[in-house]
Amino acid sequence: MARALVAALLAFAAVLAAPAGAAEARFRVLVFTKTEGYRHESIPAGIAAVRSLGARHGFAVDATEDGARFTDRRLRRYAAVVFLNSTEDVLDAAQQRAFRRYIRRGGGFAGVHAASDTEHDWPWYRRLVGARVYNHPAVQPATIRVVDRRHPSTRTLPRRWQRTDEWYDFYAQPRRGVHVLALLDESTYSGGGMGARHPIAWYRHFDGGRSWYTALGHTTESYAEPLFRAHLLGGIRWAAGR
């Protein structure tokens, strides 16, 4: 009897110590980190950050580098799929078709940093993301101008957000229904190539689903920054329809 009581008390204490939302997830997301090109050292930190956010905010997180997870049956489990620093061609033709059906049925996509350096030869994916990376200077500090603070991913950010990252230039401005959330102030760093309207984060409704993208998240240190984590959380939750 005494042992049973002690076990029960320990179990209760473990529940109290668990982060909010850990006991019952309200939705599930898939973090996809497959790389066929450059591999970011920050990927483990990114996965850990999303898992931590899920534990605290009530969503479950699966992480994989296996494109075989992209089937109709498996994708149906997820409110959103997060492409976190994936690179180059990561899905075969059947997996591409399954992912496109997932979005068309109302699924969510959140792209982080090198998600815009993924699936170069798949026009549908490029439209889903909104742009493709062209170039970048060395990692350095810069200032971001948050131009829309109504979105969940930017609501808690300062209007001028100073931080260090790898700053992407894109082949072209995102168009066709893309709503830009934040711009990069090229006067605050060296090597920018897009001018006064340099987009760095945006969202759109696309082909029946939801797409959110941030070019931030190159460095390992990013995933420990409270403001970046809030930005990431808001983007994932919006992509998931929450």
Task: Quickly list H helices, the chain.
Answer: 2-17, 43-57, 72-75, 93-104, 123-129, 226-239
Note the residue count of the chain.
242
* Residue 165, H or E segment: strand 160-165
**For residue 126, how many C-alpha atoms fall within 13 Å in the half-sphere facing its CB?**
18
Check residue 175 and give its pLDDT.
Answer: 85
CA distance 103 to 172: 23
Q: How confident is the model at residue 8 (pLDDT cuts 50, 70, 90)?
A: very low
Token pair listed for 196: 């006064």
pLDDT at 160 exceeding the cut of 60: yes
Check residue 24 and give its pLDDT.
Answer: 64
pTM: 0.90
Check residue 9 and give its pLDDT.
Answer: 31
**Average pLDDT in the chain:** 91
Q: What is the DSSP letter of 79?
A: S
CA distance 232 to 114: 14
Handedness of CA 177, 230, 191, 113 (dihedral sign): negative
CA distance 236 to 22: 17
Mean pLDDT over 111-124 rounds to 97
Instruction: Judge contact between 207 and 104, C-beta under 8 A.
Output: yes
Tell me the per-residue pLDDT of 173-185, one tens digit each, with 9 for 90 and over.
Answer: 998 899 999 999 9
pLDDT at 22 exceeding the cut of 90: no
Tell me the per-residue pLDDT of 204-223, one tens digit each, with 9 for 90 and over.
Answer: 999 999 999 999 999 999 99
Percent above pLDDT 70 for the chain: 90
Q: What is the DSSP letter of 19?
A: P
Query: What structural domains does the chain harbor?
Result: 25-239 (3.40.50.880)
Mean pLDDT over 128-143 rounds to 97
Check residue 13 and give its pLDDT.
Answer: 35
Residue with tokens 């580098």: 65
Give the closest residue to 133 by CA, choosing from 83, 66, 94, 97. 83
Check residue 130 and give its pLDDT.
Answer: 97
